[in-house]
A = this chain, B = another copy of it.
Amino acid sequence: MFRGLSAFPLTPCTPEGIDDAGFLRILERLVSAGVGSLGVLGSTGSYAYLTREQRKRVAALAKQQAGAIPVMVSIGAVGTAQVLQLAEDAQHAGADALLLPAMSYQTLTDDEVFGLFETVSRHVSVPVCVYDNPGTTRFTFSDDLHGRIAALPRIGSIKIPGVPADAAAAHARVQQLRGKIPAGVTLGVSGDAFAGLGLNAGCEVWYSVCGGLFPHTAKAITDAAARGDHARVTQLTERLAPLWALFRQHGGSIRVMAAAAGVLGLTQVDCLPRPLLPLPEAHCAAVAAVIEELGLE
Contacts and interface: CB of A to CB of B under 8 A. Distances in A.
Contact of A273 (B80, B251, B274, B276): B80
Interface string A132-160: 00001010000000000000000000000
Contact of A81 (B49, B115, B136): B49
Contact of A78 (B17, B49, B116, B277): B49
B49 A274 contact: no
A275 B54 contact: no
A274 B115 contact: yes
A138 B251 CA distance: 14
Contacts of A109: 277
Contacts of A46: 79
Contacts of A54: 81
Contacts of A50: 79, 81-82
A277 B107 CA distance: 12
Query: Which has the most chain B C-beta neighbours within 10 Å: A48, A105, A116?
Result: A105
A125 to B, nearest CB: 20
Copies per complex of this chain: 2
Contacts of A32: none
A108 interface: yes
Contacts of A81: 17, 49-51, 54, 273-274
Interface in A73-89: 78-82, 85
A122 to B, nearest CB: 12
Q: How large is the interface on A (under 10, 10 to 19, 20 to 34, 35 or more residues)?
A: 35 or more
A254 interface: yes
Contacts of A273: 79-81
Given A105-B43, A105-B136, A115 B49 contact: no
Interface in A103-119: 103, 105-109, 111-113, 115-116, 119
Query: Which has the most chain B C-beta neighbours within 10 Å: A54, A82, A255, A275?
Result: A275
10 contacts: A48-B79, A51-B79, A51-B81, A80-B274, A80-B275, A106-B252, A106-B276, A111-B277, A112-B276, A113-B275
Interface of A: 17, 43, 46, 48-52, 54, 78-82, 85, 103, 105-109, 111-113, 115-116, 119, 136, 138, 251-252, 254-255, 273-277
